[in-house]
Amino acid sequence: MIGLDSLEKNKKGLVDKAGVNKIKKGFKGGFTLFTRKKTAYKIFVVIAYLGVITTNALANIIPIGGVTTGEVSDSYPNFFAPAGFTFGIWAVIYLLLGAYVLYQFGLFRRQLINERIFQEIAPYFIISSLANILWIFAWHNFKIAVSLFLMIAILLSLIKIQYILKRFKLYSRDKLFIRAPFSIYFGWITVATIANITTYLVSINWSGFGLSDVTWTVIILIVGLMIGSLTIFLNKDLVYGGVIIWAYFGILFKHTSPYDFGGKYVPIILTVILSIIILSMVMAYIGKKLRAFFVILILLVVVSTVFISFRTYKAMDEAVKAKESPNVTVQDRTIVFNPEDEAIANLVFYQGGLVQPQAYAVLGQMLSEQGVRVFIPRMPLNLSILNASSFDKIHGEYEDGNDWYIGGHSLGGATASIYAKNNSENIEGIFFLGAYPSDRSDLSGFEIDVLSINASLDSIIDRDKYEQTKSLLPQHTVYVEIEGGNHSNFGYYGLQKGDEKSTITRKEQHKVVSEKISEMIE
């Protein structure tokens, strides 16, 4: 032991055995006490970790309160919640936290690290775990206010852990087994806290000071972007940034998926895309690798395109067959249905969100048989809102002196209203199929013909919004409701998720639509 040799001999060179034994006994006792304390907090960390894993598993197996975590979330619908697949990150979080728990006992280690780091992290890890467990019970019992308080407790615990980590020198393995688990956890809880706040506001029916849900979602997204960017910059934590981007991609996919929002809320989609780009740039700057930014951006674009393509509703065989008819041509990414005789009018049709344009080929063929030349342009990513002005190009190339009409299904109808608002001089009329005008498109004072066709079993359209936006249409608007029809039957692409099954055939619904549009044109 340090210094014992000098204590074992006095000035006369004699050994003071009693004194030495007393000192040795004191060192031994103190070391034993220290070892027990060090082992104790590690055991508590293990218990806390196992408690979190068990509770979260039982939450969905039993489930606690008779509902799953996702079902509670679905009870408070909002525009900020990401797609379900993004929650798979919890498996990564718990796996890495498990690795951290083992790492504190020396497993996987090569370099020596100051053991005090584990001792300082322990109380905050335990607090976050207890809050996590209690959050599950609060959430599953619809105690949203309590769950928000507990979520903030988790967030503050992780912020403190981040502060602790900055004070210690970490080697490569330490960064993998200590920093990475808490960076991912911290990143996801940052987003989860914002989502929990949003859910709480929905639960109390907050009015939002008169601002729309879309506007507030855009504001929340920007706030999340600012918090994420600042944290990445201050902590120089690329792992944290990757988690924020992952969450924002989940929001993007949910808003562009035909199974969820179907591209209806364009301001949200554009804000998310811009946020992802900015977050990627911040990460590239911190990592001092501009090339990495472009690689990340390209990968994100490719993954998004593939994912959206995979989620797009495909045209049914009847529609594919109609598109392949002799009178159909495809020019400049536009499907053209030419009437047998001279055309009496021209009509531009905008597809529904994330639905293939050829899914509307049957309707295009039926209208062409009535003497109408029909154009169905192919939209970027099958989202008509991304090219609302495609009418202009078609009108410029095919102008023949006949009247022009525009309209569409679902998102396509809203997109058509945006174009008509600023270009009414080019069109004679507009029609909506299972759709309503955009909030920005007040057509109430316009003299053009307007036709709105709805279906009684349409479960996709927002009924409240449909009624509210009637004030944006002229008083002479013709309203038609197809009894027994649904949202999906306006095209040939199968049954859309969330839509009710119709009691009439697609052909019967298409016949009504074709007749009413023909009447408007005549």
DSSP state at residue 143: -
Residue identified by tokens 């002196």 is 401
Its CATH class, for the domain covering 317-521, is: alpha beta
Residue pair 290/334 in contact (Cβ under 8 Å)? The answer is no
The pLDDT assigned to 358 comes to: 95
Which two three-digit tokens encode residue 28? Answer: 């031994």
DSSP per-residue codes, 408-467: EETHHHHHHHHHHHH-GGG-SEEEEES----TT---TT--SEEEEEEETT--SS-HHHHH
Question: What's the rounded Cα separation, in Å, for the pair 477 and 295?
Answer: 51
Residue identified by tokens 């395109």 is 305
pLDDT in tens, 42-99: 999 999 999 999 999 999 888 888 888 888 988 898 999 998 889 999 999 999 999 9
Torsion over CA of 268, 272, 273 and 277, rounded to 10 degrees?
150
- Other Cβ atoms less than 10 A from the Cβ of 102: the count is 14
Strands 478-482 and 328-331: unpaired
pLDDT band at 297 (very low <50, low <70, confident <90, very high): low
Please state the rounded mean pLDDT for residues 136-145.
95
Please state the rounded mean pLDDT for residues 211-232.
94
Higher pLDDT, 277 or 307: 277
Cis peptide before 123 (omega within 30 of 0): no
Residue pair 346/303 in contact (Cβ under 8 Å)? The answer is no
Binning the chain into helix, strand and coil, the percentages to the nearest 5 are 60, 10, 30
CA distances to 56, 99, 109, 131, 341 from 163, in Å? 27, 21, 22, 19, 76
pTM of the predicted model as reported, rounded to 2 decimal places = 0.64
10 Å CB burial of residue 462 (0-12, 13-18, 19+) is: exposed
pLDDT in tens, 314-360: 999 999 999 999 999 998 889 999 999 999 999 999 999 889 999 99
pLDDT band at 19 (very low <50, low <70, confident <90, very high): very low
Q: Above 70 in pLDDT, residue 482?
A: yes
pLDDT band at 275 (very low <50, low <70, confident <90, very high): very high
pLDDT band at 15 (very low <50, low <70, confident <90, very high): very low
Question: What's the rounded Cα separation, in Å, for the pair 469 and 442?
Answer: 9
pLDDT in tens, 225-241: 999 999 999 998 989 99
Q: What strands, in cross-sheet order, belong to the sheet with 345-350?
A: 328-331, 334-337, 372-377, 345-350, 403-409, 429-433, 449-455, 478-482
Please state the domain extents for the chain: 34-201, 207-311, 317-521
